[in-house]
Amino acid sequence: MLFTKPLAVPFTALALALSAPLALPAMAQEATQEAPGPSINDEQLQAFVAALREVDAIEQRYGASLNEADSEEERQAVITEANEAMVSAIEETPGITVQEYLEVLQQAQADPELNARIMEMLQG
C-alpha cells in the first residue's frame, strides 16, 4: 500500500485475516475478484480513516509485544489479542463494517488517487 507507514497496513491486513480464519479471507478474496471497486464517498472514507486511526493505535500498542515475543506461541497469542482488538475497533466505528474496511483497504492498494485522498484525510 502507498501509506507512509508501510508496515502498518500489511500488519493490519494480516492481523484482520488471522482474526477470523474462515470469514475474512473469503471476504477479501471476493473483494479482490470483483471488477474495480465502487466509488467511495467522503462519508465512507471518513469512517475508514477513523477506523484506520484506531487500528493504527492498536498496532502501536501491540507492536512492541510482538517484537519481544520469545516464541512462536507467544507471537500468536499477541497477534490473536491484537486481532480481536482491531476487529472490535472497526466494528465500533460508526459507518463502516469489517468487510467495508477491507474493501477500502484493498481499493487503496490498487488506486493511487484513493490512497492520496486517504493520506490527505489522515493528515487533516
**What is the structure's pLDDT at 39?**
82
Answering whether pTM is above 0.75, one says: no
- Chain segment 62-113, per-residue pLDDT in tens: 988 988 999 999 999 999 999 999 999 999 999 999 999 999 999 998 999 9
Pick from 107, 86, 74: nearest CA to 20: 86
Pick from 80, 39, 82: nearest CA to 58: 82
- Chain segment 29-75, per-residue pLDDT in tens: 444 444 456 788 889 999 999 999 999 999 999 988 988 999 999 99
Stronger pLDDT, 52 or 26, i.e. the higher one: 52
Exposed e or buried b per residue across 67-96, where buried means at least 16 C-beta atoms within 10 angstroms of its C-beta: eeeeeeeeeeebbeebbebbbebbeebeeb
Q: Tell me the H-state helices in 21-97.
A: 23-33, 42-68, 72-92
